[in-house]
A and B are shown apart, each in its own frame.
Chain A
Amino acid sequence: MSFKTKLFLLFSLLVFSKVSFAQTSDDPDIEYIIESIASNQTQDYDYSELIDRLTYYKRNKINLNKTSKEQLQELVFLNPLQIDALLNHIAVNGKLINVLELQSIKGFDLETIKNLLRFADINTPSGFENFSFNKLFKDGRNDLLVRYSRYLEQQQGFSPAKSTSTSRYLGTPERVFTRYRFAYSNNIEFSLNLEKDPGEKYLNGNYGPDFSSASLYIKDLGKVKKLVIGDYSLQFGQGLTLWSGLSFGKGADIFTVAKQDIGLKNYTSINEFSFFRGVATQINFGKFDFTPFVSYNKIDAGLALNPLTNLEEISSLQQSGLHRTSSELKNRRRISQLVFGGNLQYNYKKLSIGLTGYHSNYSQDFAPGNSVYNQFDFTGNSLNNVGINYSYTLNNTYFFGEFAHSLNSGIAYINGLISSLSPTVSAVLFNRNYQKDYYSFYNQGIGESSTAVNEKGFYAGLQIKPDRQFELDFYSDLFKFPYLKFGVDAPSQGYDIFSQFSFTPNKTTRLTLRYQFQNKQQNDTQPTYTNVLAFAKKSNYRADLLYQVNKSFSLRNRIEIVQYHEENKANRYGFLAYQDVIYSPLSSRWSGNTRLALFDTDGFDTRIYAYENDVLYGFSIPGFQNRGVRYYLNARYNVKRGVDLWMKYSLTKFNDQQTVGSGLDQIQGDLRSELKLQLRLQF
């Protein structure tokens, strides 16, 4: 399809878009927050935990007069300077009496205040002030949600096996997710998640559903600030020593590179990896907070026999959480993991210092790496980690950092600052150095790689917000990998430049232009006798326009172009354009949205990611590659108070393809469609 045809199609869509379609779905405010922080949307990370968290606070608003730094940090869109300014304002001037007071706080622009008030208020009831078990069941709220989804076409893995040795999925093709929450005020929360993925069996032996996760979370009970029994996550400092669950990389919101640790939290995500199972608590002693924890869990791993010792060793940890074939089932919960330790945090005014130490122990040894690039990987079966982190606000500058050490091996550190240079200009700088033999199983330090290992770099970001209408975000990041990596057979380096301009002339219209350029070294794809490095350059151009047509309808257009260049090779291009229609009337039981997207890319290296609306708590950022059309329709119907139904139908049609997907996921034909149904009961 030529570029002109695409433009024409896009134009016709603009003209005719009001005609076909249906209704709204999830929350545009939350969507905007996620789009601005999701790390350039290049990783398929599940942000459903964040949607969960924000939706929770939308219903159970934070009381700003009784809040803490940690709680405000959970609202990822506030930057550390704003949090300090708010807490300082309350400390100096006393409790907030009117929300209008927020406008007088330094660093709070109207958009931030508008965002904040969606999740917080100044006099919501909180605490166990007049708690009784009667009240618990009378005022407690239940939330039950069931989601069913499946591909409508048959995948290879579900077809009859040609012989007994052919691998097939042992379960059924649908994905079923059940979610239950009980919440009392902001203080008691019980969560239960049950899930089976496509291809998995409903019951694995006698163990129940493929993935089940539950936790009881109690907050602000005297000295006990938090207590979790069951599954939990821990986030301390800048994520070098200990950070599990939700985390952000480099993104359009430049402030999120300074991680805001929220310590202990109940684990409510359905990622089947990287959480703790056991007991943890946070106890407050004045300026000190102590968080001890212990966790015992079985995790997925591939094992291989070591011919020298004749013992089984861990060859890989499996993070996908998929247990569909007999070989995947064999690795399910195959090894056991024991983790215990603690964190001591000292908070005094604008200074906080934290010490973290923990021990992790595995039932088998990790096998030594058998390639040159992974020979510094962790071996053995036990590891001790220690770390110290700090943050301090001095006038208009917030300093942050962490130093981490895995005992008997390497170190990692990061130091940075966020400074508001003038009322309209803020800058972020940080420097990082992570050694190749620094080990932590819960390491999500910021960098070009997803874990803080074998990397050095310097990041500089700038945000200019001259008024409510304009915003310019910019960053550059230089990174070096002192040791080899997978697919990079020498020490390498690269850099990343990002700029985004957004124009919001009124409350209902927003134009965003984005440019990103990345240049990094990798093995040259030209065959030679020995691998040499070559630079691969990738440019992304994006234009996005969102505008409201009337009180019920909004439209959104996006065009994104990717250019990928490898040395000695022709340029490759990717193109994506879509039209969204969003229907969200004030008074109707129906709401929904629909999208038609065209994509035309020269393969994997030029794939383009785009956030997609989904059923509530659902989350998808699909990557588009090859040529085709994607369509989805997402609708919500409010049956009656407390009963909601969601439906999503999506379809991807590829041009000139005989099959879609690969391996056992392969579908015959050029079409893949999916149906999702969801029911929520609140009582």
Chain B
Amino acid sequence: MGKFYLLLFFVFIFISARAQDNNGPRITALGNAGVALQDVWSVKSNQAGIAGLKRAFLAAGYENKFGVKGLSNQSAVFSIPVKDYALGASFNSYGVSDYNEIKTGLTLARSFGPKLFLAIGLNYHQLKITDYGSAKAVSVDVGVQYQAFPNLWLASHISNPNQSKYDNNTDQIIPAHIQFGANYIFSDQLLITTEVEKILDAQADFKAGLEYKLVKFVALRGGISVNPFKQYAGFGVNYQRINIDFAVSSHPVLGYSPQVALGYEF
């Protein structure tokens, strides 16, 4: 049975070179167009975003991939502001019992005034396949966010620019990619975010998402990405210091991937 999932897994990897990471339900529901957002889950999409957070956050999420039993993403993120700096940490475990990928990240972000955030992240990757062994690697992320106008954020993010790999015996890649994006805040109720992403050796993707606050504590979200064409939807409920977010993404061939996360604001 494990072999079957292993096979399935490689099918998924083939179709989506980035399936092994997860940006949390809020950013996922926005079509993964999260590069210009400020959220605790920014530690995974663009580390610079955590420099915009005034308080410490902790969140944990679970995503099931394509309705396949046992194939999941389990993740946790944390960020804390320290004067002009912010520190962040992330953890993500992806796979099935016989195949597992773990990514652990540490982030240092700094705000240069209220309009400019910079960040650098360090990631430790572990890959483990039953009967085949394991491999390890380290990669670097760099991100920037800039508030060009009071309601417009521009951002850019580069992952693994030095193209570090597990080792020569492993074909599995750590994708090198670059993202540009903008987030436009129309009102307290509405924001629209977009992102262009280019993964090295894969096609460029355009993503867009929309978040609408029905009432102050309930947000509805939707998004798309065009390459492959995927649709996303989700909602978030904020009750005092607790956030509950839900998202589902729809792949035209592989089907639905639901996810949920619980967050706490200190």
Contact = CB atoms under 8 A, between A and B. Distances in A.
A478 B250 CA distance: 11
A146 B72 CA distance: 71
Interface string B170-187: 000000000000000011
Nearest to B213: A421
A476 B222 contact: no
B226 interface: yes
The 3 closest A-B pairs by CB, nearest first: A495-B229, A422-B186, A422-B190
A478 B192 contact: no
A506 B186 CA distance: 24
B192 A495 contact: no
Interface in A451-496: 458, 460, 462, 464, 474, 476, 478, 493, 495
Nearest to A480: B252
Given A422-B187, A424-B186, A427-B210, A493 B252 contact: yes
A460 B189 contact: no
Nearest to A397: B214
Contacts of A464: 192
Contacts of B190: 421-422, 425
A172 interface: no
B231 interface: yes
A519 interface: yes
B212 interface: yes
B144 interface: no
Contact of B231 (A422, A424, A427, A476): A476
Contacts of A425: 186, 190, 192
Contacts of B224: 460, 476
Interface string B7-42: 000000000000000000000000000000000000
Contact of B252 (A422, A427, A460, A495): A495
Contacts of B212: 419, 421, 427
A495 B252 CA distance: 9
Interface of A: 419, 421-422, 424-425, 427, 429, 458, 460, 462, 464, 474, 476, 478, 493, 495, 497, 517, 519
Contact of B229 (A422, A429, A478): A478
Interface of B: 186-187, 189-190, 192, 208, 210, 212, 222, 224, 226, 229, 231, 250, 252
Contacts of B229: 476, 478, 495, 497, 519
A59 B82 CA distance: 70
B222 A460 contact: yes
Nearest to B184: A464
Interface of A (DSSP majority class): strand
Contacts, number: 40
Contacts of B231: 458, 460, 476, 478
A492 B252 CA distance: 11
A421 B189 contact: yes
A464 B187 CA distance: 13
A137 B23 CA distance: 73
A491 to B, nearest CB: 12
Contacts of B189: 421-422
A460 B210 CA distance: 11
Contacts of A517: 226
A429 B220 CA distance: 13
A424 B191 CA distance: 12
A596 to B, nearest CB: 36
Contacts of A493: 252
A458 B190 CA distance: 22
Given A424-B186, A478-B231, A462 B226 contact: no
A462 B192 CA distance: 10
B159 to A, nearest CB: 26
Nearest to A395: B214
A616 to B, nearest CB: 42
A517 B222 CA distance: 20
Contacts of A478: 229, 231, 250, 252
A429 B231 CA distance: 12
Contacts of B187: 422
B40 to A, nearest CB: 25
A534 to B, nearest CB: 14
14 contacts: A422-B187, A422-B190, A424-B186, A427-B210, A458-B231, A460-B222, A460-B231, A462-B210, A464-B192, A474-B208, A478-B250, A478-B252, A495-B252, A497-B229
Contacts of B226: 476, 497, 517
Given A462-B210, A476-B231, 20 more contacts: A419-B212, A421-B189, A421-B212, A422-B186, A422-B189, A424-B186, A425-B186, A427-B212, A460-B222, A462-B192, A464-B192, A476-B229, A478-B229, A478-B231, A478-B250, A478-B252, A495-B229, A495-B252, A497-B226, A497-B229
A478 B190 CA distance: 24
Nearest to A462: B210
A401 B229 CA distance: 26
Contacts of A460: 222, 224, 231
A425 B192 CA distance: 10
A474 B186 CA distance: 17
Contacts of B250: 478
